[in-house]
Amino acid sequence: MSSPLPHPSGSERPDPTAADGQHAASPSPDTSEPAAAAAPGATVSWLSVFLSTATTVFLAELGDKTQLAALLLSAESGRPVVVFLGASLALICSSLVGVVLGRWLSTVMAPEQLELAAGVLMVALGLWLGRQAVLHLAPLPAVAAAALGT
């Protein structure tokens, strides 16, 4: 009658030499967290996902056309609170649409395929955004701008 204690670590096979338990020939005792090593994307904490998303979106959106539209509306109407409420609701709805679309894509595409497509998309967005910012910061001469295809 060996002790039933060490069995939840996954040693289910009947091994007659390991009847004494503790220091027996168990080859892999460190199988406590296999998921963390195998799937690094699945265990990212809620707060880090929240913060990285918020930072990226906030930086990308500052000074964008959303503000322009909101400013125009508020200048004409004289009711900035109402305009702000409407714009905020629209932004929340649009991000909800984006999240739902992403979840739907993740159900119809293979993960590696989707990661590759999303990565290419984000690199393209980064290049486009960076090009715009650089052109704003340091406007090129017209010749160079024409060479770049503007």
What backbone phi and psi angles, to 5 degrees, belong to 148?
A: -80, -10
Please report, as residue ranges, which positions from 102 to 131 form the binding site for other proteins (by CB under 8 A): 102-103, 105-106, 109, 111-130
Q: Is 23 within 8 Å of 8 (Cβ atoms)?
A: no
Name which of 3 and 77 has its Cβ closer to other proteins.
Answer: 77
Name which of 3 and 56 has its Cβ closer to other proteins.
Answer: 56
Q: Is 25 within 8 Å of 17 (Cβ atoms)?
A: yes
Decide: is 140 part of the binding site for other proteins (CB under 8 A).
no
In angstroms, give the least distance from the CB of 57 to other proteins: 4
Count of CB atoms situated within 10 Å of the CB of 91: 14
**Quick check: helix, strand or coil at residue 14?**
coil
Decide: is 34 part of the binding site for other proteins (CB under 8 A).
yes
CA distance 148 to 28: 58
Q: What angle do CA 84, 103, 110 make, to 5 degrees?
A: 150
Name which of 3 and 126 has its Cβ closer to other proteins.
Answer: 126
- State which of residues 59, 140, 144, 147 lies at the interface with other proteins (CB under 8 A): 59
Name which of 20 and 33 has its Cβ closer to other proteins.
Answer: 33
Structure tokens at 75: 């200048």
Structure tokens at 103: 């979840």
| Residues 67-106, mask of contacts with other proteins (x by CB under 8 A) | x-xxx-xx--x-xx-xxxxxxxxxxxxxxxxxx-xxx-xx
Name which of 86 and 146 has its Cβ closer to other proteins.
Answer: 86
In angstroms, give the least distance from the CB of 104 to other proteins: 8
